[in-house]
């Protein structure tokens, strides 16, 4: 129990020190971190910590539209679904929910790596459904580099599951489900997420404000932002992994 409080606390303090997450976001992540470590043990914590550190590292790669700290909404959209899988595990004690935890966590990391490493891609970016050419860096645009990076997320997080004594077939399921998360993220990013045009610099942005002025919606829905897309893709992986594990 002490370890379950101590380890997430160290992570939360580091996040505050690095100034990467808002205070409310840190508190939300801290509470979810305690639940994760208490129920899922040290390996579940390692998966969370790896996702956290690799996300910070990959943020450095990505040229951001604007410099920003991660908010409470971003923390919830990335960690809440994974936490729910472990809460269900606590009551049901079925391995299925452990696999779901790692799949969703791997998916969050896959998204992050696909967009940051993918932003370095020199080649053309394509639409995930029509395979038509898309502007680089636009929400939903897919590059072959980004696609490869999305498999890396599940590979890393699945390895933690495997090292904890997990089954090799489940490891493969975690890799595939994590990549599915990133793909679902791209499709919804391309079709549902609100895209805005800045009246000053004419750039297309995912934000409602750019260059200090309000932008105008040109595609998607204004109530669907990146956080909602992340949450939805996590829920898709949550459900799909459950179905796959049931019929396996």
User: Where do contacts with Zn ion occur on this chain (CB under 5 A)?
Assistant: 198, 200-201, 210-211
Decide: 106 and 177 in contact? Cβ < 8 Å. yes
Which one, 3 or 201, has the nearer CB to Zn ion? 201
Decide: 48 and 79 in contact? Cβ < 8 Å. yes
Q: How far is CA 73 from its chain centroid? A: 12
- Minimum CB separation of residue 32 from Zn ion in Å reads 35
- Both tokens assigned to 89: 């595990």
Beta bridge partners of 207: none
Cα distance between residue 206 and residue 202, in whole Å: 13
- Minimum CB separation of residue 65 from Zn ion in Å reads 9
3-state secondary structure of 197: strand
How many C-beta atoms lie closer than 10 Å to residue 5's C-beta? 13
Which one, 186 or 226, has the nearer CB to Zn ion? 226
- Minimum CB separation of residue 35 from Zn ion in Å reads 40
Which one, 161 or 196, has the nearer CB to Zn ion? 196
Cα distance between residue 52 and residue 67, in whole Å: 18
- Minimum CB separation of residue 162 from Zn ion in Å reads 45
- Minimum CB separation of residue 214 from Zn ion in Å reads 11
Spatial CA neighbour of 219 closest among 195, 198, 184? 195
Which one, 163 or 211, has the nearer CB to Zn ion? 211
Helix (H) or strand (E) holding 183: helix 168-191
Which one, 70 or 210, has the nearer CB to Zn ion? 210
- Minimum CB separation of residue 2 from Zn ion in Å reads 50
Which one, 68 or 167, has the nearer CB to Zn ion? 68
């Amino acid at each position: 129990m002490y370890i379950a409080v101590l380890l997430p606390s160290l992570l939360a303090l580091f996040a505050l020190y690095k100034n990467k997450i808002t205070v409310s976001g840190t508190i939300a992540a801290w509470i979810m971190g305690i639940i994760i470590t208490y129920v899922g043990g040290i390996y579940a914590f390692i998966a969370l910590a790896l996702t956290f550190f690799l996300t910070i590292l990959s943020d450095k790669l990505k040229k951001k539209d604007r410099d920003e700290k991660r908010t409470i909404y971003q923390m919830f959209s990335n960690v809440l679904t994974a936490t729910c899988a472990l809460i269900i595990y606590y009551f049901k004690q079925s391995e299925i929910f452990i696999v779901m935890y790692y799949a969703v966590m791997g998916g969050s990391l896959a998204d992050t790596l696909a967009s940051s490493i993918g932003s370095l891609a020199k080649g053309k970016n394509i639409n995930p459904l029509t395979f038509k050419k898309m502007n680089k860096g636009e929400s939903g645009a897919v590059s072959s580099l980004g696609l490869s990076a999305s498999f890396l997320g599940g590979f890393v997080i699945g390895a933690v599951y495997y090292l904890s004594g997990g089954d090799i077939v489940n490891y493969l399921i975690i890799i595939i489900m994590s990549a599915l998360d990133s793909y679902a993220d791209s499709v919804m990013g391309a079709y549902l997420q609100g895209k805005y045009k800045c009246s000053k610099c004419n750039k297309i942005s995912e934000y409602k404000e750019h260059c200090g002025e309000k932008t105008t919606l040109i595609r998607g829905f204004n109530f669907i932002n990146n956080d909602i897309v992340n949450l939805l893709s996590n829920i898709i992986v949550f459900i799909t992994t459950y179905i796959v594990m049931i019929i396996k």
